[in-house]
Amino acid sequence: MIRYCAAIFAALFILATAFPAVAQDVTLTSRDGKVEIVGTILGFDGEFYRVDTKFGELTIDGSGVLCDGPGCPNLTSFVAEVVFSGSSTMAEILLPSLVEGFARRSGLTTRRAALAESQFEYILSDSGVTVARFTFAVSNTDDGFSDLLANEADVVLALREIRQGERSLAYEAGMGDMTGRKRARVLALDAMVPAASAKYP
């Protein structure tokens, strides 16, 4: 009998907020002007920048740098955006329930909108102002990891642990060790009910 773990694997953030990865250039300069990093922005969670540079993929504390360029987020009206990709079971049932529950506890309103085929989004608002957008790409675990490696998703919805090949590709892409602590969270476990014949008590 096999038990499946419903787990989330993220490239950098576990259930963290990030705006979508878009191919736009940015220049991050230290506040004293002595260090400058140029690259393509991959994500921002309200605190850390993730940038693809000539040195590889870097994660930089936003409090220590100034951002310049078309890819820089608007810090005064920041909208948290996260793209989830993977298991249809998790994307269609489990995660929407968690998002709606979080919104209710936080006093936010939710609106679900259909996007392209097999995609939808949840928009969370506070007094009519959008504060978060969660996009779901409904497919399977394999496609979820593929989207993660292609920087098309921030979080993978998986019904299994990451495979060695996927782990190696993620490491080569500068995502670090995906099996490290805090890189995954188990959200649910399938129920197992043992049954035996009355002839064999």
pLDDT, tens digit (0-9, with 9 covering 90-100), for 103-130: 999 999 999 999 988 999 999 999 899 9
What pTM, to 2 d.p., does this model score? Answer: 0.69
pLDDT for 23 equals 58
Q: For 16-25, 51-60, 115-124, 144-153, which range has the lowest pLDDT when averaged over its residues?
A: 16-25
Predicted pLDDT at 9: 36
User: Can you tell me the mean pLDDT for 80-109?
Assistant: 90
- pLDDT, average across residues 150-171: 89
Query: What pLDDT is recorded for position 184?
Result: 81
Query: Would you state the torsion angle of the CA atoms of residues 69, 74, 75, 76, taken in this order, to the nearest 10 degrees?
Result: 140
Q: Which CA distances in Å does 144 have to 16, 40, 193?
A: 17, 22, 29
8-12, 98-102, 188-192: range with lowest mean pLDDT: 8-12
> Tell me, what DSSP letter sits at residue 172?
H
> In which residue are the tokens 């400058």 written?
36
- Of 132 and 21, the one with more pLDDT: 132
Q: What is the pLDDT of residue 154?
A: 87
161: helix, strand or coil: coil
User: Does residue 10 surpass a pLDDT of 70?
Assistant: no
**What is the number of other CB atoms lying within 10 angstroms of the CB of residue 53?**
14
Are residues 59 and 68 in contact, defined by beta-carbon separation less than 8 angstroms?
no
End-to-end CA distance of the chain: 19
**Is the confidence at residue 1, as pLDDT, over 70?**
no
Query: Does the pLDDT of residue 199 top 60, yes or no?
Result: yes
Q: Per residue in 27-49, pLDDT tens?
A: 999 999 999 999 998 888 778 88
Residue 154, SS3 per DSSP: coil
Q: How confident is the prediction for the chain on average, in pLDDT?
A: 81
Amino acid at position 22, single letter:
V
Nearest partner of 91 among 8, 194, 32, judged by Cα:
8
> For residues 15 and 170, is the Cβ–Cβ distance under 8 A?
no
Instruction: Enter the tokens of residue 11.
Output: 């490239």
- pLDDT of 181 above 80: no
Which helix (H) or strand (E) covers residue 68, if one does? strand 65-68
pLDDT at position 117 is: 86
Under the banding of pLDDT at 50, 70 and 90, the label for residue 201 is low
Domains of the chain: 5-15+79-187 (3.40.190), 24-68 (2.30.30.520)
When pLDDT is averaged across residues 68-96 and rounded to a whole number, the result is: 86
